[in-house]
Every structure is written in C-alpha cells, then in structure tokens.
Amino acid sequence: MKFIKNLKLFIRFPDQSRSFSLGVEFGRIWEKIERGENIVGNNGFPIRIDNKELFIDICEKYNYLPIFGKEYFGEWIEFIGIKKMFTKN
C-alpha cells in the first residue's frame, strides 16, 4: 500500500487527539456490525493496530470471525469481520 504515504486529510479535526480518531474508526465499523452486515471492514482500508483488541472483542460478542492480514508501517493492519452463520452446537 505505497499510496498511504501520499494521502492527505480531507478534514482535519481541531484537536489531534489520537483516542478520538481511534474511536471514530471503531464506531464506523461497530455500526456495520450492529446492522448485521455479513462482511464488515474499513471500506477497503486497514485499521489502526491500536484498535485490534477492540475488534477482536466486539467480533466475539456479536458472533463475527475477525480476520487480520498484513501490517503496514507498524501502525495499520488489514481487517475484515465475517458474520458466523453457524453455531458451535
């Protein structure tokens, strides 16, 4: 993903709070999970590694399988969640 280095923000928030941006990313994907979408992700972009554990936890709670792929620059990781259609019973 060489293009990530060249991206610029469309909107810059006045406070550069890292926790705010982590929360926004998590909230967008959590909304998709709550709607029950079969496959959820970050619109084709990797997620922040700092959010990885949150996604593992929320996928477990809502019966999704979290899948993580390649890491980028030690800050980003590929992620998709797939809704489990079958139970362990």
* Structural domain boundaries in the chain: 20-83
Q: Given this model, what pLDDT does residue 73 score? A: 93
Q: Which residues of the chain have pLDDT under 70?
A: 1-17, 87-89
Q: pTM (2 decimals)?
A: 0.75
Give the torsion sign (CA, 39, 81, 68, 31): positive
pLDDT for 65 equals 97
- d(Cα 14, Cα 34) in Å, to the nearest integer? 29
pLDDT of residue 1: 44
CB-based contacts of 27: which residues, under 8 Å, 6+ apart?
Answer: none
